[in-house]
Amino acid sequence: MPLRIDVPEKFLNLFHKIFENEPIENGNKLNLFSLKISNNAFSYATLVEELGDILTAYALSRSAYDELCSQKKYTTLVSKAKERLRKAESNDGELGEILLYTMLEAHLKAPKLLTKLELKTDPNHYVNGADGVHLLKIDDNTFQFIFGESKLYSDLKKGVKKAFESLKNLLKEDLNKLRYEIQLVNSNFLKEAHDEHSVDLLKKLLIPRENDEDLNIDHSFGIFLGFDVEITDDERKLNNADFRETIYEKVENAVRAILPTINDHIKQDDFRGYSFYIYIVPFSELKKQRKKMIAELKKYMEDDSCKSDSPNDYFGFIFSKIIQSVR
């Protein structure tokens, strides 16, 4: 794949894979990953540290990121990423959007073409639509545009319902909304293509020519779902090994119970011919923790005293503060 993947595979080391590439309806795949557990708690601290290293690549196009890095303008790099994040109206969804991006890049090896945050030039711009667009290479002649959707709900069943409703909405009006997403990619692809090979490939995919008749292009969907797993006081009193086994089993049972619902959605007529790549991650006290994280993120983005010569130092600082309120 000529497009660069910015989220390293080692990012997945943060997670315990309860099951991976689980077959679901129509040959699709579902992945259930849990943050690793340390001292009877999900390891949020390590997650946010890693996200701190990733946020600049997520918030900015590759060309903007590479140009600023090549000039060693790290303060400007961070400032521009901060500006994007600051302009994103808080809908409590940013965390899910970032985790969707990390999973599609690190696990599926599908580099981003566009994220919602990149186009946030003002609070009202590009609010609706896919949370991101990625490119997956199936073989030398076959590619998929992956349209992403993330939902974080305490109730997993509700999250599943809302995610598929959003995707169905993209398919309305004779694919006009999907076409709009492709047009956005088309108008911004030079920002993501970091070399001539990447430019040539994206031109072929976005503007097919007569001599590209062997090129196959399909659309697919990537879904990230976060949900709440209740942890009782008695469970917290278990020894570390028993706690891990208990929580991982509880999470697996919760997701397996919802698989028939997911399969029913995929079988709907609207989704015939589309592939799905689904990622599910449990959280504890999701609603409370998510709001705290976003509130702290926005608070520290406005704190001018957080400036640094290194982008990773800046975001590491932000998330170290966030995690103090999460744990």
What token pair was written down for 31?
A: 């992945």
Question: Could you tell me if 164 and 265 are in contact, meaning their C-beta atoms sit under 8 angstroms apart?
Answer: yes
Most confident of 78-92, 149-163, 282-296: 149-163
Helix (H, G, I), strand (E, B) or coil at 295: helix
Distance CA 101, CA 105 (A): 6
Give Cα 197 distance to the centre of its chain: 26
Give the per-residue pLDDT at 85. 59
pTM above 0.85, yes or no: no
Distance CA 181, CA 54 (A): 24
Q: At what angle do helices 311-326 and 286-301 cross, to 10 degrees?
A: 140
The pLDDT of residue 171 is above 60: yes
Confidence tier at 325 by pLDDT (50, 70, 90): very low
Q: What is the DSSP letter of 171?
A: T
pLDDT in tens, 74-91: 666 666 666 665 554 455
pLDDT in tens, 96-111: 988 999 999 999 999 9
